[in-house]
Amino acid sequence: MDYHERLPPEVAELFPDGGAGRTLSVTLPSGYVVWPDPGYPQHQPPKRPAFWISDDPVPCALWPRLRAETHASGLWPVMLEDTTQPWSTGQIAPEPIDEIGNYDAAAFMAEVWSEWDEPAADITPFGRYSPGLAPPGERREDPDTLAGRCVEVLTGRPLGLVPVTRGADALTAMGWQGARHHNPWTAPLSAVVRSWEDRFGARLIGIGFNTLELSVAAPPMTFRHALHVAAEHWTFCPEIILQGPGTLEGHAEQICGSSLWTFWWE
């Protein structure tokens, strides 16, 4: 039987109230908290560490156990790419979670779309104006159950724990900068992922230096729907089109029915 205990001191340090009232029954491996490097550009001076990371790679089976306790622990688990940057060097710039609510996914998409006078990829059948957000998908299974299976593709990674209760917010809270050249702020990207959580049952399961992995419980199942979603992916992460099939239609074929979305920025 699992017994819920107070958060370990090094994890409780992530919360402004010292983790008061938060519990966790899972025994964590050894790890450490990550502070932003004082020399790295910050949106505001850090008051506390941004997240916790395990010293070594962990079994992927630990992810669903921790996810099941998010309501009690206030922690979102994520499998982190095993690199020295940005984790060990503190190349992170946390932003207030409240900032996410100031952004709208559809408005972000429209703004980015309007900035492309000559798109670098074939955006057929869409033209100068953003098509807006795609309709929601039809949920095929429980999002967290699916996420627990999809995380198996991320074997051999350390575990990260972020003091948020939804995966989209983890990007902003931990100060991830993987798409900085594309968008200087992380909060708008979190707003987009929040929208995907709501419409497609997406769950953030993996983060790298410049990569993201999301499980998707309600993916588009028709080419037409997938094409509309591909337009959203184009504004969120142009590289997956430019360095992938080169067209929205080609990307739509790849994501139609797919339960895993992977993004990378160069």
Residue 252 counted as domain residue? yes
Q: Determine, yes or no, domain membership for 223.
A: yes
Angle between helices 187-200 and 167-174 (to 10 degrees): 170
Residue 25 lies in a domain: yes
In a domain, 133, yes or no: yes
Q: What's the number of domains the chain is made of?
A: 2
**Six-digit token pair at 193?**
């992922």
In a domain, 152, yes or no: yes
| Residue 92 domain-assigned (yes or no) | no
pTM of the model: 0.94
Same-domain check for residues 48 and 110: no
Q: For 193-233, how does the pLDDT look when each residue is reduced to its tens digit (9 = 90+)?
A: 999 999 999 999 999 999 999 999 999 999 999 999 999 99
The per-residue pLDDT of the chain, averaged, comes to: 91
Same domain as 133, residue 70: no
Q: Which amino acid is at 151?
A: V
pLDDT band at 159 (very low <50, low <70, confident <90, very high): very high
Instruction: Please check whether residues 20 and 67 belong to one and the same domain.
Output: yes
Among the listed residues 147, 173, 160, the one whose alpha carbon sits nearest the alpha carbon of residue 36: 173
Structural domain including 140 reads 97-157+170-264
Cβ burial of 65 (10 Å; 0-12, 13-18, 19+) is middle
Tell whether 104 and 234 lie within a shared domain: yes
- Give domain status of residue 90, yes or no: no
> Do 130 and 114 form a contact (C-beta atoms < 8 A)?
yes
pLDDT 10s digits, 13-61? 999 999 999 999 999 999 999 998 877 776 667 788 999 999 999 999 9
